[in-house]
Amino acid sequence: MTRTSLAAVRPTRREFLQAAGSVTTMALTIGFEWLGPSRRAAAAGASPAVFAPNAFLRIGADGSVTVIAKHVEMGQGAYTGIATVLAEELDADWAHVRVESAPANVKLYANSAFGMQGTGGSSAMANSWSQLREAGAKGRAMLLTAAAKDWKVPVTELTTEKGVVFHAGSKRKAGYGSLTAKAAALPVPDKVTLKDPKDFKLIGRHVPRVDVPAKVDGTAVFTLDVALPGMLVALLKRPPLFGATVKSFDPTAASAVPGVVKVVQVPHGVAVVARSFWAAKQGRDALVVDWDDTHAEKRSSSEMMNEYRHLAEQPALSARKVGDAVPAIKNAAHTVSASYEFPYLAHAPMEPLDAVVKLTATSCEIWAGDQFQTVDQANAAKTAGLDPQHVSINTLYAGGSFGRRANVGSDYIVEAVSIAKAYGADGTPIKLQWTREDDIHGGLYRPMYFHKLEAGLNEKKELIAWRHVIVGQSIMAGGPFEVMVKNGIDPTSVEGAATIAYEIPNIDVELSTTRSAVPVLWWRVVGSSHTTFAVEAFIDEVAHAAGKDPFAFRRDLLGHEPRMKAVLELAADKAGWSAPLPKGKGRGIAVGEAFNTYVAQVAEVTVDDAGRVTVDRVVCAVDCGIPINPDVIAAQMEGGIGFGLGAVLYGAITLKNGRVEQDNFNNYRVLRINEMPKVEVHIVPSAEAPTGVGEPGVAPIGPAVANAIFAATGTRVHLLPFPKSSKA
Amino acid sequence: MSTSFVLNGASTTLDADPAMPLLWAIREVSGLHGTKFGCGMALCGACTLHVDGEAVRSCVMPLSSVAGKQVTTIEGLQSKAAKAVQAAWIQLQVPQCGYCQSGQVMSATALLEKNTAPTDADIDGAMSGNICRCATYSRIRAAIHAAAQSIKA
Ligand code: FES
Ligand code: FES
């Protein structure tokens, strides 16, 4: 059932390509001009002895293997996974493998899931699986052919291991580095045979992350750390209300701050450009701007939620229909209903957004933890009035993103280019730095949603009908991804709900899309960040009404979904689902699918007499196909659980008369170490093609904890974040 | 105006606004980039460094306040505790995006320099000012215990 429904609500790859095409325009190969620490060696090695059989691989005469990553490394382990897959087929020595970021080039480096160059949808491993295995295998085949010719032996008699070619018969061996010149002269083979998974030496093993050493001694380079000769720092004063614009401004006080160089107006506000962050910050504090808020959002989020509640009772558009749920619920022997409210959420990546731009009349070079390279390239080009081929992007490590850096308007990149342009486009490098307050106030939030659910049970207390109404803003509408909105249904508003996996004869999922000037965006695990909560909290209420164990009730509705059922059973088994717990403690379960990865979690909580919740333990089972790097998978589940838990406990962006009420980590609270539960991760062995792990672990934790709170207290959670009384 | 102090073992005089937060003086004037900016309000710990051996939030400390003091950043870590922390961080593969990790390493080092056998409660006390949005907390805890073990051994 799920698979057919997925087709109904998920855009096809072609639709993604069309959507992406409208923003990517043409992109050409652009070389690196900036020589960062890792690139310096690479450029220095660009001699004829370098063997570069394809856009993803370069082997130096010294035997060093450089893998070119088209995905950004923002913590999810993409660099390591990408290098592992390629190095596996190449039979490279892991100790000599390095990763370098790809330039913006849609022809060479498009994400096969969206047709433009970018990272998202937990797609890096699914994307790399065949492409990079083939890239590595072709490189290896050419090195083998080079050695065979040299030694005048049949290629079939050669073997490889850790970057060395061996000929057992003649006891000869040669390191890959010594073969690069000869291999480079050979044609690239059309076809290669990939390894049998039983021969994998890196995939599925504990391969250490390539980025960890530099992230432990402080040498990893983030955008914050880019320092170019003569570089200035800009802070931008943005409107206090979404949709407001600059009416007028007085730069006098700002300009008087020592170190302030220029105050410039850009379409998004007024920027203070200074010799240091501190000067720019003081200048911005002193800057006086008068705003025009004619078209601004002036409502409070509480008013908006009232409107959403009202809309949930009005006719909406159908996102999924099986049988006829409305009459089935009307005539059911028993009914259950509940509603769930979800706030706006900020991504709050640890590194506040930042970008460095060096703009001249003919070129634009950008340094950023760039997640949407060819979109950002096109937007930067348009802003600068240049051809995209004259915009180059250096992708650096991103200090987290959770979706924030991938947006079709390229907000922070376009701001930085606009400032450089207003400054004079004279080649002065300018770093646009956001503060944490800019980030929390900065919009592009996970949308606010209202969910209303109703279920019908027959006399035997079997679930026969399910109705789910979702109200909230669309992420895709109004932008280049609008083409993915079909019949008024934005798939990201309903994924996880319209794709409900449980076998129910009558299903009705409806969507009412609202509008606001508050800009919204995908947030880690996208639609499932709210839909999985609603579905999994409500199915728990239905199980209770049916008098069934919540685990057994789910399992019995998943007979046709073997992978989802398997993770559910594994999590329940490892958690000791049926073992009794003392009073004041409770256990809750939830399961979900996102980006074709299946995750189930069992949470154990303690609720004290004052109603304070402590999450003691989380047992997580995941099926992501062939596990490429089990330790990275475990890390992503652990991190996803902590990220999701922080959001359900504390996360909320609220508006008061249009103004965001939160500013920094004092009132936009996130999880801290003392609130992190013990997490155990169990990976389902699989021979299926690998799928992503960066996001899916986030979805089930909220409902698992909510269901555990019910088990401990008999109280259901319907409002997110959890009520203040139950905060730890 | 200038401020003199000892930075990573070397006498240093910085000619900068004495009100400038130490974080920005270290980053933009001294050019040491390991110490990060996360909140600017002593809420996240990304800017943690050591002043006379204490872990402090450099984003809210005026440069003038370290006159005559010993300042150590991640670039200057030398102690046995620091090396044990960094080795454990690698062994347990703690970092994800890595942006918070300089601050985490600095806070963990300061803890272990004073307390070689921290309990979970000690770890909560010393580390709860350091946010990790990637939520690497389980591994941070395990790595601090592992580092404590290795110092003892
Ligand atoms: S930047 Fe100093 S505590 Fe956050
Ligand atoms: S590793 Fe990303 S914020 Fe800590």
Residue pLDDT, tens place only, A286-317: 999 999 999 999 999 999 999 999 999 999 99
Are A450 and A437 found together in one domain? no
Are A561 and A422 found together in one domain? no
pLDDT beyond 70 at A395: yes
Using left for φ > 0, alpha for ψ between -120 and 50, and beta otherwise, residue A660 falls in beta
The token pair that represents A4 in the structure block: 């057919």
Please compute the mean of the pLDDT values over residues A504-515 and round it to a whole number: 98
* Nearest-Cα residue of chain A relative to residue B19: A278
For residue B41, give its domain range: 2-76
Predicted confidence at residue A515, as pLDDT, reads 95
State how far the Cα of A514 lies from the Cα of A304, in Å rounded to an integer. 9
Are A34 and A121 found together in one domain? yes
Are B72 and B6 found together in one domain? yes
Are A337 and A366 found together in one domain? no
* Nearest-Cα residue of chain B relative to residue A666: B43
Are B69 and B94 found together in one domain? no
DSSP code at position A676: P
How sure is the predictor about A46, in pLDDT bands with cuts at 50, 70 and 90?
very low
State how far the Cα of B135 lies from the Cα of A490, in Å rounded to an integer. 30
Measured in Å, residue A322 CA sits from the centre of ligand 1 at 52
pLDDT beyond 80 at A477: yes
Are B70 and B103 found together in one domain? no
Please compute the mean of the pLDDT values over residues A675-698 and round it to a whole number: 95
pLDDT above 90 coverage of chain A, percent = 84
Q: Is A302 contained in some domain?
A: no
Measured in Å, residue A77 CA sits from the centre of ligand 2 at 12
Are B6 and B71 found together in one domain? yes
In B, residues 88-147, which contact A (CB 8 Å cutoff)? 89-90, 93-102, 105, 123-124, 127-128, 130-141
The CATH number given to whatever domain includes residue A79 is 3.30.365.10
Classified as helix, coil or strand, A404 is coil
Are B72 and B130 found together in one domain? no
Are A555 and A632 found together in one domain? yes
- Pocket probe for ligand 2: among A211, A222, A350, A436, the residue whose CB has the most ligand atoms within 8 Å is A350
* Nearest-Cα residue of chain A relative to residue B29: A276
pLDDT beyond 60 at A38: no
Ligand 2 pocket, residues with Cβ under 6 angstroms: A 75, 350, 400; B 95-101, 132-134, 136
Q: Is A689 contained in some domain?
A: yes
Q: How far is B134 from chain A (nearest CA, A)?
A: 5
State how far the Cα of B23 lies from the Cα of B26, in Å rounded to an integer. 5
Candidate from A77, A220, A673 with C-beta closest to B127: A673
pLDDT beyond 50 at A39: no
Are B66 and B84 found together in one domain? no
Measured in Å, residue A313 CA sits from the centre of ligand 2 at 42
CB A101 within 8 A of CB A69: yes
Please compute the mean of the pLDDT values over residues A77-82 and round it to a whole number: 91
Q: Does any CB of chain A come closer than 8 Å to the CB of residue B18?
A: no
Predicted confidence at residue A481, as pLDDT, reads 86
Are A396 and A525 found together in one domain? no
**pLDDT tens, residue by residue, A539-585:** 999 999 999 999 999 999 999 999 999 999 999 999 999 999 999 99
CB A297 within 8 A of CB A518: yes
Are A250 and A332 found together in one domain? no
Are B86 and B65 found together in one domain? no
Atom of ligand 1 nearest to the CA of B37: 1
- Which of B26, B44, B76 is at the close of a domain? B76
Measured in Å, residue B6 CA sits from the centre of ligand 2 at 29
Predicted confidence at residue A47, as pLDDT, reads 52
Atom of ligand 2 nearest to the CA of A215: 1
Are B117 and B148 found together in one domain? yes
Are A90 and A137 found together in one domain? yes
Segment holding A640, helix H or strand E: helix A630-650
- Which of A197, A217, A237 is at the close of a domain? A217
Complex ipTM: 0.98
Measured in Å, residue A351 CA sits from the centre of ligand 2 at 9
**Chain-chain contact of A664 with B39 (C-beta, under 8 angstroms):** yes
Atom of ligand 1 nearest to the CA of B44: 4
The CATH number given to whatever domain includes residue A423 is 3.90.1170.50
Are B71 and B92 found together in one domain? no
Nearest CA to ligand 2 atom 4: B132
Are A239 and A283 found together in one domain? yes
Q: How far is B153 from chain A (nearest CA, A)?
A: 22
**pLDDT tens, residue by residue, A614-654:** 999 999 999 999 999 999 999 999 999 999 999 999 999 99
Q: Mutating which of A215, A523, A617 best tests the B interface, going by the most B Cβ atoms within 10 A?
A: A215
Q: How many CA atoms lie within 13 A of A567 on its CB side?
A: 30
CA A646 to mean position of chain CA atoms: 17
State how far the Cα of B126 lies from the Cα of B124, in Å rounded to an integer. 6
Q: How far is CA A409 from CA A89, A243, A404, in A?
A: 38, 15, 11
Q: Is A462 contained in some domain?
A: yes
- Which of B41, B61, B76 is at the close of a domain? B76
pLDDT beyond 70 at A127: yes
Residue B46: CB within 6 Å of ligand 1?
Answer: yes
Q: Which ligand is nearest to the CA of B129?
A: 1
Please give the model's pTM, rounded to 2 decimal places.
Answer: 0.93
CA angle, corner A649, sides to A645 and A651, nearest 5? 95
Least confidently predicted of A117-121, A331-335, A500-504, B123-127: A117-121
Report the mean per-residue pLDDT for chain A: 91
Which residues have C-beta within 8 Å of that of residue B109, sequence separation ≥ 6?
A: B50, B55, B77, B79, B81, B82, B85
Are B15 and B42 found together in one domain? yes
- Which of B27, B54, B76 is at the close of a domain? B76
Are B84 and B71 found together in one domain? no
Report the mean per-residue pLDDT for chain B: 97
Please compute the mean of the pLDDT values over residues B128-151 and round it to a whole number: 98
Number of Cβ within a 10 Å radius of residue B38: 31
For residue A431, give its domain range: 228-294+360-402+409-441
Are A82 and A192 found together in one domain? yes
Q: Which ligand is nearest to the CA of B100?
A: 2
Candidate from B34, B43, B99 with C-beta closest to A664: B43
State how far the Cα of A42 lies from the Cα of A36, in Å rounded to an integer. 10
Write down the H helix ranges in B27-75. Answer: none
**Chain-chain contact of B44 with A672 (C-beta, under 8 angstroms):** no
**Chain-chain contact of A673 with B123 (C-beta, under 8 angstroms):** yes
Sole residue written with tokens 């006086």: A288
How sure is the predictor about A533, in pLDDT bands with cuts at 50, 70 and 90?
very high
Please compute the mean of the pLDDT values over residues B16-20 and round it to a whole number: 97
Contacts of B91 in chain A (CB under 8 A): none
Residue B127: CB within 6 Å of ligand 1?
Answer: no
Contacts of B144 in chain A (CB under 8 A): none
Predicted confidence at residue A48, as pLDDT, reads 53
Are A613 and A705 found together in one domain? yes
Instruction: Report how many domains make up chain A.
Output: 3
Are B95 and B132 found together in one domain? yes
Please compute the mean of the pLDDT values over residues B17-29 and round it to a whole number: 98
Residue B44: CB within 6 Å of ligand 1?
Answer: yes
Residue B21: CB within 6 Å of ligand 1?
Answer: no
The CATH number given to whatever domain includes residue B10 is 3.10.20.30
* Per-position DSSP letters for B73-120, written without gaps between them: -GGG--SHHHHHHHHHHHHTT--SS-TTHHHHHHHHHHHHHH-SS--H
Q: Is A6 contained in some domain?
A: no
Instruction: Report how many domains make up chain B.
Output: 2
Establish whether the linkage from the previous residue to A721 is cis, with ω within 30° of 0: yes
HEC states along A266-321?
Answer: ECCEEEEEECCHHHHHHHHHHCEEEEECCCCCCCCHHHHHHHHHHHCCCCCEEEEE
**Chain-chain contact of A76 with B96 (C-beta, under 8 angstroms):** yes
**Chain-chain contact of A212 with B90 (C-beta, under 8 angstroms):** yes
Q: Does any CB of chain A come closer than 8 Å to the CB of residue B76?
A: no
pLDDT beyond 50 at A13: no
- Pocket probe for ligand 1: among B20, B24, B39, the residue whose CB has the most ligand atoms within 8 Å is B39
pLDDT beyond 60 at A15: no
CB B95 within 8 A of CB B136: yes
**Chain-chain contact of B141 with A216 (C-beta, under 8 angstroms):** no
CA angle, corner A278, sides to A275 and A280, nearest 5? 60
- Which of A155, A184, A217 is at the close of a domain? A217
For chains A and B, CB pairs below 8 A equal 177
Are A281 and A164 found together in one domain? no
Q: Is A726 contained in some domain?
A: no
The token pair that represents A69 in the structure block: 């990553």
Q: Which ligand is nearest to the CA of B99?
A: 2
Q: How far is B101 from chain A (nearest CA, A)?
A: 6
Predicted confidence at residue A20, as pLDDT, reads 36
